[in-house]
């Protein structure tokens, strides 16, 4: 399935640099302790702009909900329809959400509530993206 290639800006460049190292590293506010994603110029909770640092997190979460894209308009993804798009909540901080396809999970068989882990996929030479995969309960 073709994936979108991220275009980093000054704010998101550190995030994508860490992804390219196969690490999930988010902004963390040292003033209030809040993790945030996507990267922003200031803390979304307390507003501190000078208290943001990068913190590695464990790439574990759960599927909160999902939709199936059947009639999307993104040309690059049209051949792959239908496909799932899940909202993942980070176990380390359930207020942090990610949106991801679930590679290996059929579009209409998404197990809401299931455990997932981050995975990394190359989408262009030298560029990875983060996605989430359902953890096999038999292995888990």
Predicted local distance difference test score (pLDDT) of residue 76:
66
Q: How large is the average pLDDT for residues 4-11?
A: 90
pLDDT band at 80 (very low <50, low <70, confident <90, very high): confident
pLDDT band at 81 (very low <50, low <70, confident <90, very high): confident
pLDDT band at 108 (very low <50, low <70, confident <90, very high): very high
Q: Do residues 109 and 94 make contact, with C-beta atoms less than 8 angstroms apart?
A: no
Predicted local distance difference test score (pLDDT) of residue 71:
84
For residues 107 and 128, give the distance between their C-alpha atoms in angstroms, rounded to a whole number: 23
CATH number for the domain whose boundaries are 59-140: 2.40.50
User: Domain coordinates of the chain in residue numbers?
Assistant: 10-57, 59-140
CA-based end-to-end distance of the chain: 27
- Gyration radius of the chain's alpha carbons: 16
Report the candidate in 39, 36, 46, 59 with the shortest Cα–Cα distance to residue 116: 59
State which H helix or E strand residue 83 sits in.
strand 83-90
Report the candidate in 43, 60, 32 with the shortest Cα–Cα distance to residue 117: 60
12-21, 67-76, 100-109, 123-132: the lowest-pLDDT one: 67-76
Long-range contacts formed by 119-126: CB under 8 A, 24+ apart: 120/19, 120/22, 121/3, 123/3, 123/4, 123/5, 123/6, 124/5, 126/20
């Amino acid at each position: 399935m073709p994936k979108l290639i991220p275009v980093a800006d000054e704010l998101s460049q550190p995030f994508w640099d860490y992804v390219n190292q196969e690490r999930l590293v988010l902004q963390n506010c040292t003033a209030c302790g809040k993790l945030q994603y996507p990267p922003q110029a200031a803390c979304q909770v307390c507003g501190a702009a000078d208290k943001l640092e990068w913190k590695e997190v464990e790439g574990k979460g759960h599927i909160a909900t999902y939709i199936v894209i059947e009639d999307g308009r993104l040309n690059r993804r049209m051949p792959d329809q239908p496909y799932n798009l899940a909202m993942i909540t980070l176990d380390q901080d359930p207020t942090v959400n990610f949106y991801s396809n679930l590679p290996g999970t059929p579009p209409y068989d998404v197990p809401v509530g299931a455990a997932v882990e981050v995975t990394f996929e190359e989408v262009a030479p030298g560029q990875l993206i983060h996605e989430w995969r359902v953890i096999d309960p038999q292995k888990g």
